[in-house]
Chains A and B, each alone.
Chain A
């Protein structure tokens, strides 16, 4: 550990991943042979990881959470609040916490420009071993905090598209596999019993459907009912074989990422540095180590929990 001061930002929250699933083609827009679907008049599956999704992508009972909102409403996994935020901010000198930065807590963490898990039906990497491309980390709040860093798979070829990237470049930023970590998922999301969570979800959807059906007719009612019917059916199908059906057991899986964000200049607003009290190392060659996991996958909502931290080198001068 060096004496170089570091800004450590810890973040977590629920995101959306509107992805088709194998054996569907990676660019399958509606979902056919996998276990994720775009129903009725819902937008196409676009593969984009959305840390702060627009309302049109959000399925009931998920909701758009703000920085001060709980990550779940009600029982664990009942109604995930979508949104990834900084939960803690510390300046470290070596192993010592020099000071904390409450002003950065609650800042919005985002990935910009359509980040996608890129394995392309096992063409680029095996599933669970794919990188997220593009990876443009953006941390901001309405008080002038603005931190942006764009990763290059291969810093020597920053403009090379992912489909031309070498195996080594892909591996540098790849996830380290997709593995069951029920303890990690349980501690972070409260979801310890993913079978029960799915039963609860099914029951909630059935009740919600009855409420909608009882309303006087309105324009989108038929579509909403069809979507709920399809979702209920999908969960029930999964519950027939909970230990082998991906839409159920994948909840316990975790995909871990750990790499240095490298390449391209970082951009940090002057106000951010004022908050921190020190300038940030912004040159293209200084990596920003980031480690996070995505897991607790909820195929019904197309939502997943994300949790991790990024270390941003500071200049002590």
Chain B
């Protein structure tokens, strides 16, 4: 049996199933020693899925899938929020930072980018579990801003520049279920009067998912069945043939740039995946260093110290909250958020929307493998991770934070990560690839239209670079999938 396709631009290769591999340890109890019981509904109450009665055995599996979908949306949403905050951080001393402040801010930016990458990994893990269960990977999400009640997380989901309030939101998103005394004291300083036990956390959702996975699999086993019925080859992992080419001897799955996505073949793998997600996110009470929560806590301490030294310290550009493109004839105007009124900025914002749209169409095809062959799958992988995320999404997103949201206004724009309703699985191979190619070429045209119009040479150079790279990505994709493209 074979398993896996590689994420993060690193090729697809069929590898041997991990049969016979040594069992991994996992702290979330599983196996015969685990008492099997239905989770307390109060432990598993994400709002979107709460209407499904977990005590009814017929619906438990359905509830599990719904909870995974909710986790996927949250991970996806967190990725966008973290990226937005990271993109908006200041880069130069000319933006009003001292050399020492700038170095701290650069470190924060690096940390936030790492956390965002790991949120992508978590999204990949959730989708691997869904695939393993035979369900559809979940890549859709609602647009920003979101009412806290949408997920009952008690935390706003919005695109906002990095300041202390944003940092506090991030701390709550990654809040551990338990904290040691010292951490609790620090957190109480940031959130006076808040009873952290009342906060519904992402970690809590994952813990509930783990319990439900164990319960459903145990019930299936009693009938001689399993809930892990999905195609193994459709799952994603980090590593791949490009890595093998670069580093002979490296075989298959591996960690890359802080991401370590593994296939989920059975309950043990699923629990291991959740353990990894929890450790990377909230950490453990006795060991939060290196977790997202611990990293945000470190940033908060540094931020505090810098503010004490310089009360005027402001690490990020004055980017407006949740910028949204003015869509005109191109679609339905989003009603919430800050509409970008500057015509030139809006063109770049629309281009970003199109880039994000194209990336998502590729990710749908990547995670929901249907009729691609291996070469097709590799073509998607070689496009959508490195380089679309690195030489298109990030540069355009950063560039928007240097452009005004309104003519003559103080506020700057930023990437809206608009999830329009055309983003869905394109189910038919050739048509899908042609549409993706057409979108990329439309993006190339949209960027060509704004060439030379940026407020300074550095931004013009960045636009030119992205424009060139989009063209190349489109051609590489077309050539690799055999749908044509322009001659080189």
Contacts and interface: CB of A to CB of B under 8 A. Distances in A.
Interface of A: 22-27, 29-33, 37, 39-41, 44, 120-124, 126-128, 161, 163-167, 177-178, 222-223, 225-227, 229-230
B466 to A, nearest CB: 8
B33 interface: no
B310 to A, nearest CB: 13
Contacts of B117: 23, 33
Nearest to B113: A33
Interface stretch (B94-102, B159-167, B291-299, B349-357): B94-102
Given A164-B472, A230-B103, A222 B461 contact: no
B471 A163 contact: yes
A222 B391 contact: no
B472 A30 contact: no
Contacts of A22: 257, 386, 390
B54 to A, nearest CB: 40
A166 to B, nearest CB: 5
Interface residues of B, number: 37
A229 B476 CA distance: 43
A163 B106 CA distance: 30
Contact of A40 (B99, B109, B246, B472): B99
B91 A25 contact: no
Contacts of A227: 99
Contacts of A29: 91, 458
Which of the listed residues A25, A30, A121, A128 has the most CB atoms from chain B within 10 Å of its own CB? A25
Interface in B1-18: 9
Interface in B98-124: 98-100, 102-103, 106, 109-110, 113-114, 117
A107 B12 CA distance: 49
Given A24-B390, A121-B391, A227-B99, A126 B242 contact: yes
Nearest to B97: A40
B333 interface: no
B387 interface: yes
Contacts of B169: none
A27 B462 contact: yes
A32 B387 CA distance: 17
B308 interface: no
B191 interface: no
**Which 6 pairs show the lowest CB-CB distances between chains A and B?**
A226-B99, A40-B99, A163-B468, A123-B387, A121-B387, A121-B390
A27 B390 CA distance: 10
Which of the listed residues A27, A161, A167 has the most CB atoms from chain B within 10 Å of its own CB? A27
Interface in B173-191: none
Contact of A128 (B93, B98, B246): B246
Contacts of B98: 222, 226
Contacts of A229: 100, 103
B395 interface: yes
A127 B114 contact: no
A33 B102 contact: no
Determine the main DSSP class of A at the interface with B.
Answer: loop
Interface in B436-488: 458, 461-462, 465, 468-469, 471-473, 476, 488
A163 B99 contact: no
Contact of B391 (A26, A41, A166, A225): A26
Given A33-B257, A127-B246, A226-B102, 9 more contacts: A24-B390, A29-B91, A31-B106, A33-B114, A40-B99, A123-B387, A123-B476, A166-B488, A178-B246
A165 B488 contact: yes
14 contacts: A27-B391, A29-B91, A33-B117, A40-B102, A120-B469, A126-B246, A128-B246, A163-B468, A164-B472, A164-B488, A222-B100, A225-B99, A226-B98, A226-B100
A163 B103 CA distance: 33
Given A32-B113, A123-B469, A223 B387 contact: no
Given A29-B458, A33-B257, A127-B246, A120 B391 contact: yes
Which of the listed residues A32, A166, A178, A227 has the most CB atoms from chain B within 10 Å of its own CB? A32
B429 interface: no
Contacts of A121: 386-387, 390-391
Contacts of B103: 39-40, 226, 229-230
A161 B488 CA distance: 11
A75 to B, nearest CB: 28
A120 to B, nearest CB: 6
B488 A23 contact: no
A161 B471 CA distance: 12
B91 A30 contact: yes
B168 interface: no
A41 B242 contact: no
Given A123-B473, A226-B103, A227-B99, A25 B390 contact: yes
Contacts of B390: 22-26, 121
Contact of B461 (A27, A40, A123, A164): A27
B282 interface: no
Given A122-B382, A227-B99, A23 B257 contact: yes
A152 to B, nearest CB: 15
B95 to A, nearest CB: 11
B394 interface: yes
B245 interface: yes
Contacts of A128: 246
A16 B374 CA distance: 40
B257 A41 contact: no
Contacts of B91: 29-30
Contacts of B102: 40, 226
A223 B99 contact: yes
Contacts of A25: 390-391, 394-395
